Structure 1
Amino acid sequence: MSGATLNIDKGRLIGVGVGPGDPELLTLKAFRAIQAADVICYLENESGQSQALEIASEALKDPIKTQQYLGVRFAMSRERVAANAAYDKAIMQIQEELEQGKTVAFLCEGDPLFFGSFTYLLERLDSQFASQVIPGIPAFVAATAELQLPLTVLKQSFAVITGRHSDAKIKTALLEHDAIVIMKAGIERPRLIALLKETNRFDDANYLEYVSRDQQKVIRDLNQLDNVAGPYFSLFVITREELTA
């Protein structure tokens, strides 16, 4: 960001968390912000589809004003060069709208600042523009609700990691913490299953895909889980049965 003074006459960028997938998990504050925005911005895949936009569809049916749509074409990849180029292009387009005094709502699956793409836009935003974040329900919270499983109690420790971490880092988390959530587990599923077995946490684990969505899949017994790569929107929830006094 630059060191420019905030100009209150210019627009505002709002990172809106739309939750894990079920439109009914959209908060009232998020719903109202989406309805009131001048510009609806969102990530879309190479086919032009946006899951965040689909989740927010109810809020978009009856907007307070005429709205523009701004899709940011983004391919899911570990290659950061293309991702950074997409964010650079997106923030330029967003700031053009902000210059005109418009409010831009950037729709984020889950929570905007929890493994969220909004993080990368916010760090690129020129400081002359105002910003706001409306939190959303992250997938792992919806997952524990679906499982009806307490994530942590009393003195139990908790960690969130991703399947992209090294074997050593994942094993350390599994050995040191009572409860662990492994996000972005799909492509790494066979490796993660092996690490769960190696650390004797296999029987403590639950696996979920597309949490709260129509195609949701829940597997409590990992012996029933195919040892192959799964979808991007998947996670493991690992907890100990015994309580720590």
Structure 2
Amino acid sequence: MARIICTGLGPGNPDLMAVRSDRVIRAATQIAYFRKKGRKGQARQIVEGMLGEGATELPMEYPVTTEIPFDSPEYIRLLAEFYDDWAERLVAMEGEVVVLCEGDPFFYGSFMHLYTRLLGRVEMEVIPGITGMTGCWNATGTPITWGDDVMTVLMGTLPEHDLIAQMEQSDAIVVMKTGRNLPKVRRALAAVGRLNDAWLVERGTMPNERIVRLAEADEADCPYFAIVLVHGHGRRPEIAQ
């Protein structure tokens, strides 16, 4: 029976990976990771040069990514079957299998969908990782929250009216899954008067990192690995300053 170890890889820079994740990956004989068909995969790129000689690689290729709406019944069915299939494959394997996961596995990580299917069937360990958003807000050189600030993490895939409603209630804002949703996110921030405070961080902590004011960003050229940040200013300014 397999033993599954999911390693959180952090925000993208291998130097920001947990020491335990580094050790586990270098010693692994079986490595599984998610990727889009035809791509190497971000997780695999992060560990380039770390895998032991002869390690068996198990690329788990998504059957669909952005080709059809993420909330459509067809999308949900295809993804559910994909995770069901890979859960069965992992259960049937012998020895230890290391599953790579960008950021932290339990923070919007794809591994969560395998975890719920494998729970109680195999021995599992999850190694935490620094989240992508943490790497991004540190890259701006400005604290994301002060004092009693309330921070809200939103998905760019949400309907625009939901984005606006949540943004109106928040001091600090993080918007993930931007990409093609960036125009909608920009409109929502403009509606609540926070657009001029927003930053777009692309590929945070990676060699091609880019940080730009959202109001000045090109909406047509936003990569998948991009996060929008709006820093809090502190509900008690005398303490924050």
Answer yes or no: same fold by TM over 0.5: yes
Paired with 2:184 and 2:221, the residues of 1 have a C-alpha distance of 9
Paired with 1:230 and 1:11, the residues of 2 have a C-alpha distance of 39
2:82 is the counterpart of 1:86: yes
- Of residues 161, 168, 173, the one that matches 2:166 is 173
Does the residue aligned with 1:171 lie in a helix, a strand or coil? helix
2:59 is the counterpart of 1:76: no
Paired residue for 2:229?
237
Unaligned runs of 5+ in 2: none
Percent identity over the alignment is: 27
**Counterparts in 2 of 1:242 and 1:158: CA distance versus 1, 3 Å:** closer
2:101 is the counterpart of 1:112: no
Paired residue for 1:224?
216
Shift of 1:139: 1.0
Shift of 1:242: 5.0
Displacement over 3 Å in runs of 4+? 240-243
Paired with 2:112 and 2:22, the residues of 1 have a C-alpha distance of 21
Paired with 1:121 and 1:128, the residues of 2 have a C-alpha distance of 11
Shift of 1:161: 0.9
Paired with 1:126 and 1:208, the residues of 2 have a C-alpha distance of 35
RMSD: 1.7
2:190 is the counterpart of 1:194: no
Paired residue for 2:55?
67
Summarize the alignment of residues 1-245 of structure 1 with structure 2, pairs less than 5 Å apart: 10-60=1-51, 62=52, 66-74=54-62, 75-77=64-66, 78=70, 79-97=75-93, 100=94, 102-125=95-118, 127-219=120-212, 221-228=213-220, 230-241=222-233, 243-244=235-236
Shift of 1:80: 2.2
Query: Contact 1:204–1:241 at 8 Å: present in 2 too?
Result: no
Query: Contact 1:26–1:56 at 8 Å: present in 2 too?
Result: no
Q: How many residues align?
A: 229
Partner AA of 1:16 in structure 2: T
Shift of 1:243: 4.9
Does the residue aligned with 2:117 lie in a helix, a strand or coil? coil
**Counterparts in 2 of 1:242 and 1:152: CA distance versus 1, 3 Å:** closer
Partner AA of 2:229 in structure 1: V
Paired with 1:38 and 1:46, the residues of 2 have a C-alpha distance of 23
Paired residue for 1:6?
none
Partner AA of 1:52 in structure 2: A
Query: Contact 2:202–2:227 at 8 Å: present in 1 too?
Result: yes
